[in-house]
Amino acid sequence: MGMEIIVTALYIVACVLMFALAILIHEFGHFIVARKLGLRVDAFSIGFGPVLWKKKVNGVEYRLSALPLGGYVLIPDMDPEGTKVLEGGGKNKEESTGAGGNSDGTRIPAWKDILVSVAGPMMNIVLAVVLAVLLSCVPSAKFGTILLDVEEVLPDGPGAAAGMLPGDRIVSINGNNVRSKSDMQTEFILAKGRASELKLLRGGTNVVTMVEPKFEKVGPVFELPLLYVVLKQTEGAGAASWMPERSPLGQLAWDAGGIFRVLRGLVTPKEAKATANAIGGPVSIAEGLYRQVRRDPWDGIGFLRFLNVNLAVLNLLPIPVLDGGLILFSLIALIFRRRVPDVVVRYTSMFFMFLLIGLMGILILRDSWRSYKIHTYKPDDEAGAVTNVLEKTDQKP
């Protein structure tokens, strides 16, 4: 028992360090480019809110803050007003002059704002590329996926009702191309409650049919869509879904495709609700990383790669307080030769900052409740029956 506690603690420490690395590399991108451009950097923080530890070196105060949900680099020459609340302190004359302003009241060129803002997400991409290349060189790392070639159609299931036949290959669902079982499940989850258009390749000919998968409950929280067909497996089908192939490019393409599919789902009226329900917050991310590191350290590295691509894309969204918002304001300044008024930057940044904090709080509460239900769940005979069904469908028995 004591040894298990020690091992668990070590895994938790490993996960914390991995997540911290993603934050650190992002903020380092902002930091190093700002310094190279001659901008003043007052602070480099891991975490938001009240400062727990700090040390000043060469004019930069390095901080460890209370809320480990991200980080920031305090650059008075370009720091938006909204960031002050995240720091846990108020504005003061020494530290800030508003977006795009030097400490002496002059403006820095908008292109410098853009370079510094882009540098953070780009460093996450660099780290993701390094991890993808590393994984491709590790013989023991598991790669593979369940192909969408049908080997068997079980009677009386949704697949049989849709006219699926052995030898069919699933090509697309609702007009979205799918390459793996993971892609297929994502499309069905986003279309839950609606019949889906299923395109099959049968003997060189495209066949279109409608299907409504059966959602089987897995534990107390999650449901999986099933067609009750047996799909062909590749040799490495036991690999995690974000480990589709050994090629670094293939890994990164899967990462980018996943996040862009979620973003598209959020802005598609018919899919928005299901997409929002499927999104995980910090608690889900932390638990996912922990599970993968315990399952296989290389799966954990792959999850970290996937997380870095997600952080890069999300931070580039044109939302004030995110890097993309700063880039948007700077592009407006370059195009119209006039900066967005400070008052507009200040209040839009504050609005979106509180909105993001609120959404983050909701996700944390929802994920914590889900986690509690999962960890206190006691399987019964019905759950065991569902497990047997899952073992016999949509995968090789």
Other residues' Cβ atoms within 10 Å of the Cβ of residue 210 = 12
- Look at residue 56 and give its three-state secondary structure: strand
Is 150 inside any structural domain?
A: yes
- Both 268 and 389 in one domain: the answer is no
- Both 187 and 218 in one domain: the answer is yes
Identity of the residue numbered 268: T
Is 299 inside any structural domain?
A: yes
Q: What's the domain range around 136?
A: 1-39+108-140+242-337
Helix axes 181-190, 269-278, angle to 10 degrees: 120
Residue 71 is given by DSSP the state E
Half-sphere exposure at residue 348, Cβ-oriented, CA atoms within 13 angstroms: 17
Look at residues 319, 337, 355 and tell me which one is the last residue of a structural domain.
337
- Both 278 and 387 in one domain: the answer is no
Task: Compute the C-alpha angle 227/231/236, nearest 5°.
Answer: 135
Q: Encoding tokens for residue 323?
A: 């890097």
Q: Which has the closest alpha carbon to 188: 105, 265, 74?
A: 265
Instruction: Report the b/e string of 38-50 with b at 16+ CB within 10 A.
Output: ebbbbbbbbbbbe
Which range among 85-94, 271-280, 332-341 shows the weakest confidence by mean pLDDT? 85-94
Residue of 10 and 304 predicted with greater confidence = 304
Q: Encoding tokens for residue 248?
A: 């670094």
pLDDT for the residue 96: 38
Q: Encoding tokens for residue 361?
A: 């709080």
Asked if pLDDT for residue 257 goes beyond 80, the answer is yes
Number of domains in the chain: 2
Phi-psi region of 264 (alpha: psi -120 to 50; beta: other; left: phi over 0): alpha
For 209, the enclosing helix (H) or strand (E) is: strand 205-211
- Both 33 and 16 in one domain: the answer is yes
Is 100 inside any structural domain?
A: no
What are the C-alpha distances in Å from 352 to residues 96, 136, 204, 269?
19, 39, 51, 22
pTM (predicted TM-score): 0.81
For 150, the enclosing helix (H) or strand (E) is: strand 146-153
Asked if pLDDT for residue 99 goes beyond 90, the answer is no
Digit-coded pLDDT (tens) for 203-213: 889 999 999 99
pLDDT for the residue 237: 59
Mean pLDDT, the chain, rounded, equals 83
Residue 168 is given by DSSP the state -
With beta carbons less than 8 A apart as the criterion, state whether 112 and 35 touch: no
- Both 122 and 258 in one domain: the answer is yes
- Look at residue 294 and give its three-state secondary structure: helix
Is 318 inside any structural domain?
A: yes
Is 84 inside any structural domain?
A: no
Model confidence band, residue 174 (pLDDT cutoffs 50, 70, 90): very high
Identity of the residue numbered 124: N
Helix axes 110-136, 248-266, angle to 10 degrees: 130
- Both 256 and 330 in one domain: the answer is yes
Q: What is the CATH number of the domain that holds 214?
A: 2.30.42.10
Is 189 inside any structural domain?
A: yes
- What integer is the mean pLDDT of 318-334? 91
Look at residues 302, 322, 337 and tell me which one is the last residue of a structural domain.
337
The rounded distance, in Å, linking the Cα atoms of 107 and 110 is 8
Task: Compute the C-alpha angle 188/191/194, nearest 5°.
Answer: 110
- Both 260 and 368 in one domain: the answer is no
- Both 17 and 113 in one domain: the answer is yes
- Both 211 and 126 in one domain: the answer is no
What are the C-alpha distances in Å from 70 to residues 22, 26, 96?
9, 9, 21
Name the H helices within the chain.
2-36, 83-87, 110-136, 158-161, 181-190, 248-266, 269-278, 282-295, 297-315, 323-336, 342-375, 381-392
- Both 115 and 187 in one domain: the answer is no
- Both 114 and 21 in one domain: the answer is yes
Look at residues 337, 354, 386 and tell me which one is the last residue of a structural domain.
337
With beta carbons less than 8 A apart as the criterion, state whether 82 and 352 touch: yes
Q: What percentage of the chain exceeds 90 in pLDDT?
A: 36
The rounded distance, in Å, linking the Cα atoms of 138 and 133 is 9
Is 51 inside any structural domain?
A: no
pLDDT for the residue 211: 93
Is 55 inside any structural domain?
A: no
- Both 13 and 113 in one domain: the answer is yes
